[in-house]
A and B are shown apart, each in its own frame.
Chain A
Amino acid sequence: MRRDTRKAAGAGWLGAHALIVFCFLYLPIAALIVYSFNGQGVGGFPPRDLTLKWYGILFQDGAIWESVGNSLIVAACAVAIALVFGVPAALALDRAQFPGKALFRRLVLLPLILPGIITGLSLLMLFNRTGTKLSLLTIVLGHGTALISVATTEVFAGLQKLERAQEEASLDLGATYWQTFWRVTLPNLQLSIIGAALLIFTLSMDEIAVSFFLIGRDNTLPLEIWGRLRRGITPEINAISTIIFLFSLTVIVLWYRLRAHGKGSPEIAGELIETGVQGD
């Protein structure tokens, strides 16, 4: 009996602590959204004169929308690169033996845990030595390289759950490796690949540390926002941030819908972080 009451008291404290942590995590996001509708601009309590003025200004802002377009292009290309090289990398880690495999695995996963500044600067030096002009292309190469780790981790986790017998059967029945890959291996990895693509897309849309060093004349959205922040706080930034938040939220909901259809799929962010730290 006494143990139960003590346990309940413990749960009470823990519950209160959890509530505080959730407030800490969500209050800034809530403030951001509320003040995007505040007529008086950012700050000032309580918020008053609710307005859509800032959204109006935002929608007429050509530079922002140009940067949104750039970011969408970069993110789409980054997804393509990361998948084209990340999926084979996961297959290679799963089923090929080659010298330097351990080093290869560590190298692929390193950008996941390494501060972005190191990935960004090392690539900047490469482009400097090879005389490559900085542009959206260099950002694409940077994002693609950094995010291969995400595709590899997700797909590798998917491969661990794949029944190899299906592929064996396909090969025994006379299909070529190419056919087996397209008709058996890939469809089985579908969910991991879509999950990885969504995650890479969102991460690329938000990425700033690597882009910071590889930017040419055209800005991506985060860099455009960054440029404005240096000049001062304006409520349009709250407005665009609110839109980004809703966009991310939509992607998450989409992903969970998808996951609900196929059971036993990899747990996206959690698994990623675990593997990122452990390196295997």
Chain B
Amino acid sequence: MFSRAYRIAITVPPLAWVTIFLLVPYLLMFCFSFWSVSSTQTILRSWTLQNYKQLFMKDVYWETLLRSMWIAARVMMFSLALGYPLAYFLSFYAGKRKDLLYQMVIIPLWVSYLVRAYAWKTILGSDGVLNTLLQYAHLTQHPLDFLLYSPFAVVLTLTHIYTPFAFLPIYAALEHIPRNLVEASNDLGASPRQTFWRVIFPLSIPGVVAGATFAFVLSLGDFLAPLLLGGPSGIMISNIVVTLFGAAYNWPLGAAISLCMLVLVVSLLFLSEKLEKKWSFS
């Protein structure tokens, strides 16, 4: 139905843009990761494996990457723990208020990331809202200083930011479950617990996988919350990359780390897609 000219007109411009501004930059990142920096701080465009060698030899990169993954894993677990029961409640028990409550989960998503991270900083600081509240209520005598500038603050803030992301796909999956399956299970004498674990939960797994992927991947690459709230013990892998592209001026090494992150993220996306396909029932 559509002529060749029409198809070319709709295909070529976006294809060209995506090639120039996405594909070429990714390839450049790949190239940079095999280049090096001279002692006079110019980038040498001769191929070397030095950056990757350094990446595997120096403990600091490994440790930070593992710590970032551990932070991301905790964010993922907490987001699921908060998001799943919420989605289940909305989908099965909220009745008429369902739509309103759904919008209420979405609204924080529209509030600036930076604003929310900042809000947590004002709450957790030693003169912050929480500490002064605790002292006001005479629950503590001195400000608790482990609240801010710690991995705890980073995990808390990122959980706050990514819980709606985890919630949305789970809610969508729960909403797609045919209600007659649930009724059939009840009619056949299953207890609510059995119905949940044998019918509802297995059918919601694709949503759980999608939500978990979102929370994990996005918090893994975060560098602003750690800078703002993490302190020295909350540094994540992206903070190292930021330093390498800034003050430390070692773009090639930074590119090598970024490329590892890219590969890690894309493999996770691939894996999550496979898992979702495996568990989807339609």
A residues sitting closer than 8 Å to B (CB atoms) are 3, 6-7, 10-11, 14-15, 17-18, 21-22, 24-29, 31-32, 35, 42-46, 84-86, 88-89, 91-92, 95-96, 98, 104, 107-108, 110-111, 113-118, 121-126, 128-129, 141, 144-145, 148, 152, 164, 167-168, 171, 177, 202, 205-206, 208-209, 212-213, 222, 225-226, 229, 233, 237-238, 241, 244-245, 248-249, 251-252, 256, 269-270, 273-274, 276-279
Contacts and interface: CB of A to CB of B under 8 A. Distances in A.
B2 A108 contact: no
Contact of B2 (A7, A14, A96, A126): A96
Contacts of A85: 13-14, 17-18
A153 B92 CA distance: 28
B112 interface: yes
Contacts, number: 276
Nearest to A242: B115
B204 to A, nearest CB: 13
Nearest to B207: A274
Contacts of A114: 217, 221, 262, 265
Contact of A88 (B13, B112, B273, B276): B13
B262 A21 contact: no
B120 interface: yes
B86 interface: yes
B125 interface: yes
Interface residues of B, number: 99
Nearest to A13: B85
Contact of B273 (A11, A25, A279): A279
A212 to B, nearest CB: 8
A111 B266 CA distance: 11
Which label, helix, strand, loop or mixed, suits the secondary structure of the A interface?
Answer: helix
Contact of B224 (A202, A205, A208): A208
B122 A233 contact: yes
B192 to A, nearest CB: 5
Contacts of A226: 114, 224
Interface in B160-174: 160, 163-165, 168-169, 171-172
Contacts of B10: 88, 91-92, 95-96
A32 B192 CA distance: 41
Contacts of B164: 25
A113 B192 contact: no
B52 interface: no
In order of increasing CB-CB distance, the 7 nearest A-B pairs are: A115-B221, A122-B25, A89-B14, A28-B119, A14-B89, A45-B132, A277-B210
A244 B112 contact: yes
Contacts of B116: 28-29
A187 B6 CA distance: 18
Nearest to A86: B14
Interface string B205-217: 0000010011001
